[in-house]
Amino acid sequence: MQIFKVIFLSAMGIALILFIIRLWAWEKPESIPVDYSADVNNRPQLNNNVVIYDTGGNIEGLIAKWELLNPDILLVERDKGFLLPGLMDPLKKFGIAGKAEEIALKKKVKIFTFSLSDEKIAECLVKKYSPEQISFSIILNSYFEYLSGNNSLMRDNLLKDRINEYRNKGMNGNICSIETIDKIWKRDFPEARNWRDTNHLPGYAGEIENEINNIKEKYYNSVINYFTDRNKKIFVIRKTNSNSILQK
């Protein structure tokens, strides 16, 4: 009986710790269910109630812009991630967007994301491309996006992490390893440079890459318009190399 008591008390203690961590930790921002289908021809309604701050900006500029706008909404491009305030630095973990989220939480400003999940993106592509083509292209597209801001030498490890993340979501496509990526690349793009030596996707993968960018842009525009239609003041953290009209 004594051992069962110890096991029970240990399990209760672990459950309590996990519950406290859940209450204390940052979770992923909320998403907005807006229309971003192919037939939506939208443009972001940018006005004085919308400030878009570059992810490469500094803290001083962020605070100055924030105080000038005094926003109702913070928009960030994050749909995952975990942070324990006090133990982890939000600036180191999520960059300038992490600092903005820290300010928003202190000022009780609502935080939303304009990032689309892999599942939502795949749903938009499934009528035109095979599951393998979609999985292959989404994995490499997000891998190249990560490399664009992180000059890591651990390329194979980064891609392996991306493959595992994709598979853990239960998504189809049979992409299970780097060897599978190599096999598909050699089979479908025999004349192209190896994916390790380029950041450009050839053939159908390049077409899917463009469609992914268009889907993301439509969703971003729709989220902006959702809040501007409701007269909300919006502070956006976003890279300035996107297709939208941006304000600094």
pLDDT at 39: 59
Q: 147 is in which domain, residue-wise?
A: 118-213
pLDDT at 55: 85
Give pLDDT tens digits for 183-224: 999 999 999 999 888 878 999 999 999 999 999 999 999 999
Asked if residues 55 and 97 have their Cβ atoms less than 8 Å apart, the reply is yes
Q: What band does 17 get if pLDDT is binned at 50, 70 and 90? A: very low
> Strand, helix or coil at 238?
strand
Cα–Cα separations (whole angstroms), residue 100 to 61, 68, 88, 194? 11, 14, 15, 38
Give the β-pairing of 110-113 and 73-76: parallel
Distance (Å, whole) CA 188 – CA 177: 17
Q: What is the share, in percent, of the chain residues with pLDDT greater than 90?
A: 35
Q: Is 147 exposed, middle or buried (0-12, 13-18, 19+ CB in 10 A)?
A: middle
Token pair, residue 222, equals 């729709």
Distance (Å, whole) CA 191 – CA 197: 13
Cα torsion angle, 170, 174, 176, 181, sign: negative
Distance (Å, whole) CA 123 – CA 134: 10
Residue 109 included in any domain = no
**Percent helix, strand and coil across the chain, each rounded to 5?**
55, 10, 40
Token pair, residue 214, equals 């268009």
Give pLDDT tens digits for 34-48: 877 755 567 777 889
Q: How many domains does the chain have?
A: 1
Identify any residues that bridge with 51 across adjacent strands, giving them in sequence order: 235
Asked if residues 234 and 49 have their Cβ atoms less than 8 Å apart, the reply is yes
> Strand, helix or coil at 26?
strand
Residue 68 included in any domain = no
Residue 174 included in any domain = yes
In the predicted model, is pLDDT for residue 246 greater than 50? no
> pTM for the complete prediction?
0.77
